[in-house]
Structure 1
Amino acid sequence: MGKDQDLLHAVKTEDLLTAQRLLQRPRPGKTKLLGTAKRVNVNFQDTDGLSPLHHAALSGNKELISLLLEAQATVDIKDQNGMRPLHYAAWQGKTEPMKMLLKAGSSVNIQSDEGQIPLHLSAQHGHYDGSEMLLQHQSNPCISDTAGKTPLDLACEFGRVGVVQLLLSSNVCAAMIEPKPSNPNGVSPLHLAAKNGHIDVIRLLIQAGIDINRQSESGTALHQAALCGKTEVVRLLLDSGISAGVRNTLCQTALDIVNQFTATQASREIKQLLRDASAAMQVRALTEYCNNYDLTSLNIKTGDIITVLEQHSDGRWKGCIHDNRTGNDRVGYFPSSMVEVISKRPGSRGSESSPHGSPTLGQQGGSSEGCLGSPEAPRRYEAAAAVKSPSGCPPQEQRSFDRKAEADVKSEAVVTWLTECQLQFYTTHLLTAGYDLDTIGHMTPEDLTAIGVTKPGHRKKMTSEISKLPSGDWLPDHKPVRTHSEPPPLS
């Protein structure tokens, strides 16, 4: 080997004495003999483009770094991948070597061929002290690599909680969690953390104010967590107000995605969480329905309980039937005229507006027709089944049960009237807006438009049917189940 290669080998093996000897300058006044070998090249590079300074930074040997810098080694010499010695020191989390290279003039924001600055590598590998040092030397945490990821993205993806906390405490926190101007609909740090199940990182991002409902092509962070089977992440995101009704570019909700899973315990739990979050209504099949010519249809039997996922103004609803025996779900479309409403889940996440101001189910990428609920609507509609009050309950509780039973009767009246008018697909529009038969009788065309009856033909027909309603109270033919507050029947 020549002296250049000898120096490279000495630094790689951390042979300080050999490196010193090779780099030693001739003594002043010493006579040079003709044919004496030339001075060793301190910037000699191997086939990968690695110089002695690269190897010294990688090993973190301060004596060798100092020796090479004194010998005028190029501090920002790059290898075949555009990586400088500071990149390697940051990768290893070697703070003292980093400090020496920075003091020698290494650029803190210089990018490799993959667009990474030293902070990318330090953050990805969870080096808190190294990341803090780079930030103190004005490293820019908003720089993206060629994959579009910032140092915060990498720290979140790999679950580096301490580094995430450090980056979020910087004065450019808001800029890091906002969508990137070059890719406003791309993957966010929340997507990356959710995909890999990093609960503590997700909590930090939510506390920092990240848009929990930000979408990428694959959907929200909820889609990612559901797809990767991260049950606790799904639960945390739902509890934090993420919208379960958001659709990705393939028109899939998170529940649609998880329905493609195998029947694992994790997928069953996630399905149940998403059903609870998405469903604003449950219905019971009044008759059998089967359409073998439509692959998207849901075959139902009389008495089947269906969780309604979507409503459409043409009377075609999308629902899910869960088989408790097998743990599987069947999802498809069915005519709304073949079911009766049995319950709306008050307080379900899908029917409330989240603290982040996200759209609710039915408001995703469509008109207001077919919405399962409106966040502004009063929650007057409970269940259409008769309710018994428990014996011995306090008067205040008793009154609440009485009011609930009365509301059930009024809701059932609305369902019956709309079915007779063949307008049953507007049942939820009226009930979630708080209307009963008395108040429907006073509705104007403008009121109908406000709740989502926007088709002129439907609005005209409903206005006509409203005009036929009697002026007095309207009740169904049968009485509700007697509550304990009523006197017993006379013998």
Structure 2
Amino acid sequence: MSIQRMSLRGWVVLGMLMGMVMPVSAASLDERLHRAAEKGDDAAVRTLLGQGAAVDARDAAKATPLLVATRHNHVDAARALIQAGADVNAKDAIHDSPYLYAGARGHLEILQATLAAGADLKSTNRYGGTALIPAAERGHVQAVAMLIAAGVNVDHVNNLQWTALLEAIILSDGGPRHVQIVRQLIDAKADVNLADSDGVTPLQHARRRGYREIESMLLAAGAGQG
């Protein structure tokens, strides 16, 4: 059959065959990788990486597939990306990185994987805080322990002039989880007399809020003597 005489059906079949052999664009692969990461489909993640998708491709918000997977706590997808060399410190437009986000949200398995993959312990979020500070504020006891053990500076001061210890008091309800976190920070030699920008110390904040157990711990650690 000549090209001129090809039927409509023939053109459709030809178009389908051409579509099957045409290479998938890099942009399409990267977009599919982001969708797979968002769904937590680790098998698709591995397949797409094998087909040439960029492991650290950025979406419109500058997030990488690993950050997308981390936001949803998709552990297997995150591990697949990290094993493929994803940058655990790559920040999006609002300065979140997989490491910082996992720490702040208490996503322990991903946090552990990012630490093993070279997380920058000195990296900071949009508030100028390390991963330890929001972990302490949000009551993520195990994440705090993990970050302290990794060597994060317990006395880092963020843009609000608050440390992890201050946030664990000022932004908490003084309940059991935050009591544990204050204990962890004290045991890690956090400066119990390091005040906020108004000169208010952790001890004073604890007293104002009626957090008696935290107050007792701070006193025993030398608060008010600095």
One fold, TM greater than 0.5? yes
Q: 2:158 aligns with which of 209, 216, 220?
A: 216
Aligned partner of 2:27 in structure 1 is 76
Aligned partner of 1:231 in structure 2 is 179
- Structure 1 residue 177 corresponds to structure 2 residue 121: yes
CA drift of 1:118 comes to 0.8
Q: Output the amino acid matched with 2:195.
A: R
Q: Output the amino acid matched with 1:224.
A: E
Q: Based on CA coordinates, which of the two structures has the bigger radius of gyration? A: 1
CA drift of 1:125 comes to 2.9
Q: Output the amino acid matched with 1:186.
A: G
CA drift of 1:258 comes to 3.4
- SS of 1:76 mapped into structure 2: helix
- SS of 2:57 mapped into structure 1: coil
CA drift of 1:260 comes to 4.3
Structure with higher helix content: 2
The total of aligned residue pairs comes to: 215
Pair 234,40 (structure 1): closer, same or farther in 2 beyond 3 Å: farther
CA drift of 1:100 comes to 1.8
Pair 203,38 (structure 1): closer, same or farther in 2 beyond 3 Å: same
CA drift of 1:188 comes to 0.5
Where do 5+ consecutive residues of structure 1 fail to align?
A: 1-27, 42-67, 280-308, 310-349, 351-360, 362-491
Aligned partner of 2:93 in structure 1 is 146
Pair 37,202 (structure 1): closer, same or farther in 2 beyond 3 Å: same
> Contact between 1:217 and 1:249, CA under 8 Å: does it hold in 2?
no
Pair 216,112 (structure 1): closer, same or farther in 2 beyond 3 Å: same
CA drift of 1:217 comes to 2.4
Q: 1:89 aligns with which of 32, 36, 60?
A: 36
CA distance in 1, matches of 2:213, 2:139: 15
- Structure 1 residue 31 corresponds to structure 2 residue 9: no
CA distance in 1, matches of 2:114, 2:133: 17
CA drift of 1:86 comes to 1.3
CA distance in 2, matches of 1:88, 1:33: 35
- Structure 1 residue 187 corresponds to structure 2 residue 129: yes
Pair 70,37 (structure 1): closer, same or farther in 2 beyond 3 Å: closer
CA drift of 1:238 comes to 1.0
CA distance in 2, matches of 1:117, 1:69: 28
- Structure 1 residue 256 corresponds to structure 2 residue 210: no
The one of the two structures with greater contact order (alpha-carbon pairs below 8 A, sep at least 6) is 2
CA distance in 2, matches of 1:253, 1:106: 50
CA RMSD in angstroms comes to 3.3
Structure with higher strand content: 1
- Structure 1 residue 246 corresponds to structure 2 residue 194: yes
> Contact between 1:222 and 1:237, CA under 8 Å: does it hold in 2?
yes
Pair 271,90 (structure 1): closer, same or farther in 2 beyond 3 Å: same
CA distance in 2, matches of 1:158, 1:233: 15
